[in-house]
Structure 1
């Protein structure tokens, strides 16, 4: 069957409703690319730095390393490719060299690990990587719909989003590009270039880039980059980071995280488990708090505004799942609510009912306390059909319905009149066994939620 593809020029125009268009006009760009090839006048290698850095930021959430930048500069030059993501977008379908290079980024293990999962989760991750914000509901629906319908590949969608920023998004993207370019250039000695490697370092660099915003003082931030690189090659303790995807209790009723978060701790000379560190989390302007470990119970204790927490599993260096509770003013007075829920990005989001086949989740937590649901457990048979016993009787969903729910279908809660979404994850426990988690979010409306509840279902 012939696939129907939407030209990326059309996608860029459609993006105006979801974020904007590139500053370069589209008609001359296509002509220019053909003219370059006809004249046989390749660009200087350095000319390709901005577009390669944009691909690194979009697909990996970090600046290019020295060897990677040099490699891709040569590949772009050998194929005489264009200099902008818009031109890559417009010629992706017809130019096999462009497809080969961009698809190599999209299909790399690093990209799959960082922005895998459902298509909606992919789109949201791209927004976070490029604009440091979550995608709005219309953007998730539009771009996720194109990928779901096979009208565009993930690589095409990322190119279109990256090349079509407007307003604040364009300013953030420009600041991130400036920071990424400076970062790679600052790796100007062999020991510095070699130090930019390894999982912890890469996670730390992603976290560094994740704080760049429209109002970032770039001069001061470049000094921060210099200090960071010195820390990589110096004798001081290196900061290790574990990254999380964060849910917020007042976020829109979509089954994707609302923001990125991370725990950090000094790893040099520290044997696991680390005893203290920082926590960066929260919607909007990130909250910066500190944590310490009770060496007797191994539980993690947080500073304000966190008043209570639940972490799973407790024996890990850092939890795979953390429920953070803060005091929230309600009509009945201040109460401790699970306002934030952090899931390690190493956890795999599940998008098909068969991925839950044979599993039972029976521990429910809400507001940092166990119990309280009128459902007794979530159980899935060998085919992924779900059974949910409750005081009102047995609820059941066939595998197709479960799959739909895992991909973001909102459910009405007949007992409260509110809306429910569920997101499932698979993660690795400290003993290397596999655990399963379901994030449950309830809200009084699909968008503009003003009263929400975050809860979890787990196996223990």
Structure 2
């Protein structure tokens, strides 16, 4: 992501992660080499550190203008040159904190992660080491974030800078590749071409192929080839759409999405009669293929069935079913529900005024709920008719539910939570959907159910 950031604007700085769309498109290497008056280090001395920050936060090389901008900021503010020094100074240096926290406040960071510390830690391991994190690492770092003993920037620096063994080799090679990549953006066309979700995702995938045994001299040819194709119009890279994912065994408390997911697909979109792409999903990220025939999406294993809501180029909401061992044997369960980031999560009962939901899906098929429908009147009062009567909740309670409060399910003894979203249909009309999660109010549950209420 690249946006224009006036050097003197601290407020805009907090939303930035990269360089500029409107600044001069020619590299200013001479400026980079000069020490800013009063600074201890020249901007160019921060290259390796900033590339490690980009790798940790975004899994990709810095763009040329972003590297130039941040190098100047780090130099002007006399920030340390190494990750350990940055970590040590973070708590007591407000200017340093503001600078580092800006990466976590960026739109790109918001697209790549959800507000779940465990999935964030796993994503950092993938960014830095090209592998999923071990359970002990997730628990250790998540607990520090949960307790606010560390902030995301400190964790990024600690994980990337504290790598050992093969992990240290991999991240060092990724930083070497990133530094080379940015240095090769030596024309205005290349600088402008390295911009946007598509190319960011593609170069992230390129760096994900690096291993401890990668021959970096040979890998330069892959970087050269990648950069050579960036200026092609409309470009060779697949489109990418970001989603937030729920899992049926996640803790119902708060009912926030558990992980980030994404679809990548051909530039022309997923259009009839058939097209294909990749879906990356799960807290322990996995990537599977998918194809579309007509209006149906077909996914590779382990997904055995699916259902989509609001289908345009891609569904606004995807329900993915897998084979799950149950006391009665194996069964197809709705293990994951993905909601497009373009959908708006609703946190106030008034946003659901006059909406009725009559279609219920669980385990990728319609039907099966104890409730007959869910509806809201003009004031946001919710009505939930079921076989045992009608439950009515006032707008205050509905708002609490939309913000994560659990509702005891008297028929099962478990807990029920709802997340509501508004999205745009393919015909430009507005649709609404509710993700319903039934489960135990604790982490590590052994059973649960994800369902979707929609308006079809």
User: What TM-score, normalized by structure 2, do the two folds share?
Assistant: 0.72
Relative distance call for 1:311 and 1:406 in structure 2 (3 A) is same
**In 1, Cα distance between the equivalents of 2:339 and 2:142?**
20
**SS of corresponding position for 1:159:** helix
Residue by residue, what CA displacement relative to the aligned partner does 1:266-323 show, whole Å, maximum 9, x if unpaired?
32xx4662732233334465444332222xx332233343322111223x11112111
Residue by residue, what CA displacement relative to the aligned partner does 1:178-211 show, whole Å, maximum 9, x if unpaired?
52552353140424433211332234445666x5
In the other structure, the counterpart of 2:259 is 259
State the 1:364 CA deviation.
1.3
Maintained 8 Å contact 1:280/1:286? no
State the 1:369 CA deviation.
0.6
Matches within 5 A, 1:361-380: 361-380=357-376
Maintained 8 Å contact 2:358/2:455? yes
State the 1:69 CA deviation.
0.7
Q: Which moved more, 1:241-250 or 1:400-409?
A: 400-409
Relative distance call for 1:93 and 1:62 in structure 2 (3 A) is same
Matches within 5 A, 1:19-98: 42-53=40-51, 55-56=53-54, 60=58, 62-84=60-82, 88=86, 95=93, 97-98=95-96
Maintained 8 Å contact 1:65/1:184? no
**In 2, Cα distance between the equivalents of 1:414 and 1:212?**
50
In the other structure, the counterpart of 1:313 is 310
**In 1, Cα distance between the equivalents of 2:379 and 2:410?**
27
Relative distance call for 1:371 and 1:141 in structure 2 (3 A) is farther
Relative distance call for 1:163 and 1:102 in structure 2 (3 A) is closer
Q: Does 1:342 align with 2:345?
A: no
In the other structure, the counterpart of 1:240 is 239
Q: Which moved more, 1:301-310 or 1:99-108?
A: 99-108
Relative distance call for 1:64 and 1:321 in structure 2 (3 A) is same
In the other structure, the counterpart of 1:431 is 427
State the 1:47 CA deviation.
3.1
In the other structure, the counterpart of 1:276 is 275
**In 2, Cα distance between the equivalents of 1:424 and 1:219?**
49
Maintained 8 Å contact 1:50/1:177? no
**In 1, Cα distance between the equivalents of 2:340 and 2:215?**
32
State the 1:101 CA deviation.
3.3
**Number of residues paired by the alignment?**
403
Q: Does 1:421 align with 2:417?
A: yes
Q: Which moved more, 1:273-282 or 1:386-395?
A: 273-282
In the alignment, structure 2 segments of 5+ residues that lack a partner are: 1-36, 127-131
In the other structure, the counterpart of 2:292 is 293
**In 1, Cα distance between the equivalents of 2:152 and 2:271?**
38
In the alignment, structure 1 segments of 5+ residues that lack a partner are: 1-38, 147-151
Residue by residue, what CA displacement relative to the aligned partner does 1:321-359 show, whole Å, maximum 9, x if unpaired?
111222333333332222222222333334444444443
State the 1:68 CA deviation.
0.5
Relative distance call for 1:382 and 1:285 in structure 2 (3 A) is same
State the 1:441 CA deviation.
2.3
State the 1:365 CA deviation.
0.7
**In 2, Cα distance between the equivalents of 1:325 and 1:438?**
18
**In 2, Cα distance between the equivalents of 1:78 and 1:126?**
30
State the 1:140 CA deviation.
6.8
Residue by residue, what CA displacement relative to the aligned partner does 1:391-437 show, whole Å, maximum 9, x if unpaired?
22222344444444334344433222333333333333223333332
In the other structure, the counterpart of 2:451 is 455
**SS of corresponding position for 1:262:** strand
**In 2, Cα distance between the equivalents of 1:382 and 1:85?**
54
Maintained 8 Å contact 1:247/1:258? yes
**SS of corresponding position for 2:62:** coil
**SS of corresponding position for 2:151:** helix
Maintained 8 Å contact 2:324/2:330? yes
Maintained 8 Å contact 1:85/1:159? no
Relative distance call for 1:405 and 1:127 in structure 2 (3 A) is farther
**In 2, Cα distance between the equivalents of 1:392 and 1:83?**
66
User: What TM-score, normalized by structure 1, do the two folds share?
Assistant: 0.71
Residue by residue, what CA displacement relative to the aligned partner does 1:236-265 show, whole Å, maximum 9, x if unpaired?
843222232333333343523333333222
